[in-house]
Chain A
Amino acid sequence: MIEPKRVLRALAEHWALLEPLCEHFDQGTLSLGELRAQLAAQQLDSTPQDITSLLDVWIRLDILVPVAKSPNRFELNAQIHDFLAYLRKEHRLGLCLEIEAYLRHLERLAGYIQDAFDIRDGHDLARQLRLLDMRVRDVLKKLANDEQALAAVADRAKTSDRQIPLRQRYAEVLATWDEYVEPMIQLVNADGAFEQGVRKVENVLLRMLTEQQRLGHLVDDDMLLRTHARILEMQTSAQLTLRHARELLLPLREEARRHNAVTRGAALALSAIRRKGLDAVPQAAMPLFTRPQSTFLGSASQVEAYVYALANFEPKPARFPKAHKSHKGQAQRAPRTVKEMLERCEDALPMPDLMTWLLEQEPDGATDELLYWFSRLSREKRFKRERLERRDYHTHEHQVSLRSFALLPAGTDAAEQPASTPYAS
């Protein structure tokens, strides 16, 4: 039997040496040579004899134990290792299965408690209740440990090098999710083992409280109430741990999934573009940039002219028809409607030169009106246009220099003229 005080004193005295060693032992075992080298590096002024005696103390106190079948290799005693891990807040994530096993045991204990109560065995009842209480504490301890371990998993993923592949970076997160969080979700579910176990134990305890009122006390009510409270604490704690786990890991898991989705999407798009060209990317997905009216008024000189015209604007005097005067001469022709012009234009297809046609149609038309019709008709979707060379046109009052269009019905010659070819220069 090793005296606990001596173990604790040794741990306290040699903490500075033990703590760095813990990291090595977390990774695996150490040979005697490695152990000596580590200690020598930490204690520069120590002699080999000092190190030997130090190791001797640790081995005698069972702090260090030889690895099975490798007497020259050592590891920390598992109990001490757990204790040190607890002190160093280095938590290893447990298994969901462990918690499930504990819960099954709790259910069995509830059965034993019921049996002991039924046969009125106060001694066994008290023992079973104590065991139940200890087991619940075990679960609580495990949950607290797991929560710390989960936080560490998330931290490692978040702080790792941003340049390493996400798959690698989040491997631990994804594995933790699959192996711990997902089964825990199942376990803590309303119809999962956790809830069932807790409910069963709770029912037994509550029934016993009532029965004790009726049949007389076998154990102190306080003990039952305390155990009941601890069971409920365990339930809340499990839910909280799970919630924290989800809060910590879900965003990271989503990020990893998103990363996979983005990479896959990009590869898919590139593959489609390779096969079918740039237009293969679905249009709905494309970002739209706005530049709707950047050339609204045309060139700078046109802006200037427009502003000048605005500054010198004078309304034309309104002329009202006079009732006593009869209208002489040719009746004023009604302005053409877009529909009318489009129909006329359509009838005249194919049209070698839109501007010439317009001048033929409206020899006395005002220049701005002709230009409006030129603009309107040349943009009409039902026509296909082909840019002509620049030349001068003479309207009724002006000479206009522009590059007109030849118009064809939209259906014709589509192969030669892709729809996306820009015309404006």
Chain B
Amino acid sequence: MHLDLSELSQLAPIFRELFKGYHVSRRDPELYAQLSNFQDQYRTLFKALGFELVCDTRGFYYFVPDSAIASAQVNKTAQRLALFTFIIVEHLADQGRDPIAVLDGGSLGRDELPSLLDKYRDLFIQAEVQTQEELEEKIMRRMTQLGFASEDNGIYRFLPPMHRFLDVCLSVQQDRDLAASVHSVLPLPAPVIIDEDSDEKLLKTDDPLDLSDFEEESEEDALARAIAEEQETDA
């Protein structure tokens, strides 16, 4: 395929966002329009670079990590977000509201979070979420960072990529083994997901340049330290 880079005018921002694990949907009209207009070109280019661009017909794009790498590690974030989706679906259904309408383009007020946390405390604890701050930080903020939701004035609006989690509900429902195993004593297969909190195992490589294990501070910390040092020198 012939690739004309001048056509791919949003290549840099698109790559930057996708690379961060962000899901591009219609909420980012420019990026989304570029991706849908030049879908094949972007997919080919990214594939050549070793990234698999997934074009979901329900209106979103994302990078999927190499399954061999991905299956190596449990992803806390994905588990948390999936748990949150299950909880929201059940909570809305209990209230007689339509979960799909809410999770597919609908919204949820921040003021609904405390009651949610209260009602499902036992489950949230498993995801290391105990306070509303933690719920907002570990789940809601991560959802917005990854493009699953947007936040505006205390209202969380769910975006099309939420279908990835609704699909989890569907596949769980279709998983007869799971239904059976709810009552069995055998351990269930552990979910394997990547996230930035616990992704060091995914970074397992034989690459001598991979120094992630030696790093004792995050990039932000290192930058802050460097700035502080520079200021000291200046002073």
Q: How far does the Cβ of B126 sit from chain A's closest Cβ, in whole Å? A: 5
Please determine whether A300 and B219 come into contact, CB atoms closer than 8 angstroms: yes
Q: Which residues of B contact A425 (CB under 8 A)?
A: 216-217
Knowing A283-B192, A298-B215, the reply to whether A376 touches B172 (Cβ < 8 A) is: no
Per-residue B-contact encoding for A269-291, CB less than 8 Å = 1, 0 else: 11111111111111111111111
Tell me if A285 and B194 are in contact (CB < 8 A): no
B173 engages A262 (CB within 8 Å): yes
User: What's the nearest-Cβ distance from chain A to residue B96, in Å?
Assistant: 4
Does A33 count as interface, using CB distance less than 8 angstroms? no
A368 within 8 A of B: yes
Contact A289 B77, beta carbon cutoff 8 Å? yes
B194 & A292 in contact (Cβ 8 Å cutoff): yes
- Which residue of chain A has the shortest Cβ distance to B219 in the bound complex? A300
Q: Does A293 contact B (CB under 8 A)?
A: yes
Given A264-B173, A286-B168, A290-B63, A278 and B100 touching (CB < 8 A)? no
A265/B65 in contact, CB under 8 A: no
Kindly specify which of B28-36, B37-45, B87-95, B152-160 makes contact with the partner chain.
B87-95
Q: Which residues of A contact B168 (CB under 8 A)?
A: 265, 269, 281, 285-287
Contact of A368 among B86, B181, B193, B208 (CB under 8 A): B208
Enumerate chain B residues within 8 angstroms of A165, measured Cβ to Cβ. Answer: 93, 96-98
Interface contact A279-B188, CB-CB below 8 Å: yes
Q: Is A151 an interface residue (CB 8 A)?
A: no
Binds B, one of A23-31, A212-220, A253-261: A253-261
Contact residues of B between 173 and 197, Cβ < 8 Å to A: 173-175, 177-179, 181-182, 187-197
Q: Contact between B75 and A289 (Cβ–Cβ < 8 Å)?
A: yes
Q: CB distance A287 to B193 under 8 Å?
A: yes
Contact A278–B188 (Cβ < 8 Å): no
Residue pair B196, A163 in contact (C-beta under 8 Å): no
Are A291 and B216 in touch, CB under 8 angstroms? no
Contact with A along B66-106 (1 / 0, CB 8 A): 11011101110111011101110110010011111100001
CB distance from A295 to the nearest CB of B (A): 4
CB distance from A96 to the nearest CB of B (A): 30
B165 contacts across to A, CB distance below 8 A: 287
Give the segment of A55-63, A117-125, A416-424 that binds chain B. Answer: A416-424
Binary per-residue interface labels of chain B (188-211) against chain A in the complex, 1 for a CB within 8 Å, 0 otherwise: 111111111111111110101111
Q: How large is the interface on A (under 10, 10 to 19, 20 to 34, 35 or more residues)?
A: 35 or more
When the two chains form the complex, which single residue of B62, B86, B204, B211 contacts A298, counting CB atoms closer than 8 Å?
B211
Cβ-based interface call for B127 (8 A): yes
Complex Cα distance, B38 from A110, in Å, reads: 62
Complex CA distance for A300 and B93, rounded to whole angstroms: 47
Asked if B235 CB lies within 8 Å of chain A CBs, one says no
Closest residue of chain A to B146 (Cβ to Cβ) is A289
Of chain A, the residue at the smallest CB distance from B195 is: A289
Q: Who on chain A is nearest to B171 by CB?
A: A285
Least CB distance from B123 to A in Å reads: 6
B206 x A272 contact (CB < 8 A): no
| B192/A163 in contact, CB under 8 A | no
Q: Contact between A299 and B195 (Cβ–Cβ < 8 Å)? A: no
A402 interfacial by beta-carbon distance below 8 Å: yes
Query: What number of A-B contacts does a CB cutoff of 8 Å give?
Result: 269
In the bound complex, do residue A282 and residue B21 qualify as a contact, i.e. CB atoms below 8 Å apart? no
B196 CB to nearest chain A CB (Å):
5
In the bound complex, how far is the Cα of B86 from the Cα of A204, in angstroms?
62
Known contacts A288-B65, A422-B198, A276 near B208 by CB under 8 Å: no
Chain B residues 217 to 235 lying within 8 A of chain A, measured CB to CB, are 217-219, 221-223, 226
Contact partner of B216 (CB less than 8 A), chosen from A267, A275, A390, is A390
Question: Chain A contacts of B77 at CB under 8 A?
Answer: 289
Residue contact B214 to A375, C-beta cutoff 8 Å: yes
Given contacts A292-B202, A372-B208, contact A287 B164 (CB under 8 A): yes
Question: How far is A368 from B194 in the complex, measured between Cα atoms in Å?
Answer: 29
Chain A nearest Cβ from B61, distance in angstroms: 12
- Whether B55 sits at the interface, judged by CB under 8 Å, is no
A184 smallest CB distance to B (angstroms)? 28
User: In the docked arrangement, what's the CA distance between A34 and B112, Å?
Assistant: 45
* Residue of A265, A277, A296, A306 touching B126 (CB-CB under 8 A): A277
Using Cβ atoms and an 8 Å threshold, which residues of chain A touch B100? 166, 255, 258-259, 262
* A403 in the interface (beta carbon within 8 A): yes
Given contacts A164-B98, A165-B97, A282-B175, contact A375 B90 (CB under 8 A): no
The residue that A290 contacts in the complex, of B51, B79, B218, B226, with Cβ under 8 A, is B51
> Which one, B123, B166, B194, contacts A289 given CB within 8 A?
B194
Q: Which residues of B contact A276 (CB under 8 A)?
A: 187-188
> Given the complex, which residues of B lie within 8 Å of A368, measured CB to CB?
208
Which residue of A is nearest B188, CB measured?
A280
Closest CB in chain B relative to A255 CB, distance in Å:
7
**A306: nearest chain-B partner, CB-CB:** B209
Whether A268 is near chain B, meaning CB under 8 Å from some CB there, is: yes
A283 touches B190 (CB 8 A): yes
Contacting residues, chain A, for B146 (C-beta < 8 A): 289
Residues of B within 8 A of A294 (CB): 19-20, 196, 199
Given A286-B78, A289-B21: A262 touches B193 (CB 8 Å cut-off): no
Q: Contact between B69 and A292 (Cβ–Cβ < 8 Å)? A: yes
Would you give 17 A-B contacts (Cβ < 8 Å), ordered by A? A163-B97, A259-B99, A262-B170, A265-B86, A269-B172, A270-B87, A279-B79, A279-B191, A284-B189, A285-B168, A286-B78, A289-B65, A299-B221, A300-B223, A371-B211, A375-B214, A424-B212
- Point out residues on B near A: beta carbons under 8 Å: 18-21, 51, 62-67, 69-71, 73-75, 77-79, 81-83, 85-87, 89-90, 93, 96-101, 106, 122-123, 126-127, 146, 164-175, 177-179, 181-182, 187-204, 206, 208-219, 221-223, 226
List 4 A-B pairs, minimum CB-CB distance, nearest first: A265-B173, A265-B169, A266-B89, A299-B222
Known: A291-B19, A302-B215. 12 other contacts (CB 8 A): A265-B171, A273-B86, A276-B188, A279-B187, A286-B191, A287-B193, A289-B77, A292-B65, A295-B219, A299-B221, A379-B213, A422-B198
